[in-house]
Copies of this chain bind each other. A is one copy, B any other.
Amino acid sequence: MAGNHILVVDDEESIADLVSSALRFAGYEVSTAHEGYNALRAVKRSVPDLAVLDVNLPDIDGFEVCRKLRHDGHSFPVIFLTARDQPEDLRTGFGHGGDDYMTKPFSLEELALRIEAVLRRSGASTDGNHRVSVGEITLDEDAHQVTVAGNVIALSPTEFRLLHYLMLNPGRVLSKGQILDYVWEYDFDGNASVVETYVSYLRRKLGSAGRSLETVRGVGYVLRP
């Protein structure tokens, strides 16, 4: 996945920034645009390996951008972002040559996963390594499976995403806020104590290996290598 170039197009700058910093962190090269025509211009300058297109743009909408891209012969995959509750959009999106679809708000983790999935499907080069290990814990993204010292343990989707995020940042303290942004939907406005609850679940399921998931009081959590 390293080195792939992604174009993020969203008129809300805060979202474009949030997404692009998360993707940069995940090892992609990212450029952004806030308007449809700017996006087309950006592609003329440098063709990305994938584009994340918001549907609602100030000038021409994301579908139209995608249609023009396909018309110009570009075949890189496109993932659409759209506000909730517009199910009819889905068909429109795929009709215009979209490869995947996400409704806002979404979790950055999920976006990263979908991007990777779409890139893999489209045959772009990925590093093909979807397994992470920290200490005795191994997480396999493809198999969606976690093993501790060789024994498979069952995790719920949220537990899995949380563990994955922690494992992507071994030895780095992640604040509850960061965790909420990445693992939960980015505008999740519930109680931050869900994180505590899920850390508790994870520790229990991880058994003795759960001890490497440390609390840094007043700061956040770390998975110590």
Contacts and interface: CB of A to CB of B under 8 A. Distances in A.
B157 A122 contact: no
Determine chain A's interface SS by DSSP, over half rule: loop
B217 A122 contact: no
A36 interface: no
Interface stretch (A48-56, A57-65, A90-98, A196-204): A90-98
A70 interface: yes
Q: What are the 10 tightest A-B residue pairs by CB atom distance, in nearest-first order?
A: A157-B218, A144-B173, A14-B94, A21-B121, A142-B172, A13-B97, A144-B216, A143-B171, A144-B219, A143-B172
20 contacts: A13-B70, A13-B75, A14-B94, A14-B95, A17-B99, A17-B121, A17-B122, A21-B121, A142-B171, A142-B172, A142-B173, A143-B173, A143-B222, A144-B216, A144-B219, A144-B222, A156-B218, A157-B217, A157-B218, A157-B219
Interface of A: 12-14, 17, 21, 70, 75, 91, 94-95, 97-99, 121-122, 142-144, 156-157, 171-173, 187, 216-220, 222
A14 B219 contact: no
Contacts of A14: 94-95, 97-99
Contacts of A91: 187
